[in-house]
Amino acid sequence: MKILVGIKHVPDTESKIRVAPDRAAIDESLVTKWIISPYDEFALEAALRLREAGTASEVVVVTVGREAAQASLRQALAIGADRAVLVEDERLDRADPLTCARAIAGVVRAEAAGFVLLGRYGVGTDEGQTGPMLAEVLGWPHAAGVSALDVRPPEFRVERAIEGAVEIQEGRLPAVVTCDKGLNEPRYPTLKGIMQAKKKPLERRSASDVGLDGAELDAGPRVVWEALELPPARQGGRIVPGAPAEAARELARLLRDEAKVI
């Protein structure tokens, strides 16, 4: 069975973020490092473990977007993936989840993959829709935000946290699963893996190669960010002076009248 892992090329979560002048994106000039979206690392680790257990024969990583996304694909190859595919098109860099799902679906069909893993969501957009939409486009069952995974072809079993309990889902392959924290502990690339990654195949495909309509891409995404803004700066702390009883009354008044939390 071939496993396809969808990853997203995102700014390092330690990066200092500023909003671009158009207020529709971040100012990338300040981002010095780009990485695989952290939730996608859980998906990649799960795929590698399935290959090591003999359940999978090959792990292929895929992303959509601009040429720079090759860096994250090479990182995934260094960690242990066998091959990589980049659906390269500048118009896909800010594409909506459905367009991304359709692009990935085109790769899934071309690769004849039997199982697809993605992160719960890509940091930055945080919409968590690409995985479920991909399953719908393919007509496959899916499980979202799983924290435990057992794959025994032709069946799979997952666990996912819900309020106050753990939900267990079972289904049949092929399927799409999105991965959450707690599923595993992702590995780091080794020096040997980094050297080997330079020789592993990284294929570039165009939007038309995966069945996307160029005119539809030119029309722009269905979902757009109208404006971004950073959260307001935090105000300094406030000390309430006086004897304990007096200070308690004043604190209650402040919480009620100023903070309006009680």
Q: Give me the chain's average pLDDT, please.
A: 92
Closest of 105, 106, 109, 111 to residue 84, by C-alpha: 111
Same domain flag for 111 and 190: yes
Structural domain contains residue 225:
no
The answer, yes or no, to whether residue 29 has pLDDT greater than 90, is no
Number of domains in the chain: 2
Percent residues over pLDDT 90 in the chain: 72
Q: Which helix (H) or strand (E) holds 61?
A: strand 58-65
Residue that has been written with the tokens 């671009």 in this structure: 20
Same domain flag for 174 and 252: no
pLDDT bin (cut points 50, 70, 90) of residue 210 is: very high
pLDDT bin (cut points 50, 70, 90) of residue 31 is: confident
The answer, yes or no, to whether residue 65 has pLDDT greater than 90, is yes
Q: Which of 57-61, 112-116, 257-261 has the lowest mean pLDDT?
A: 257-261
* Beta strands 142-146 and 115-119, pairing class: unpaired
Same domain flag for 184 and 262: no
Same domain flag for 214 and 236: no
- CB burial of residue 95 (10 Å; 0-12, 13-18, 19+): buried
Percent residues over pLDDT 70 in the chain: 100
Domain residues for the domain of 9 are 2-218
Same domain flag for 238 and 209: no
How much is the pLDDT for 145? 95
pLDDT bin (cut points 50, 70, 90) of residue 79 is: very high
Q: Which helix (H) or strand (E) holds 102?
A: helix 97-111
Structural domain contains residue 76:
yes
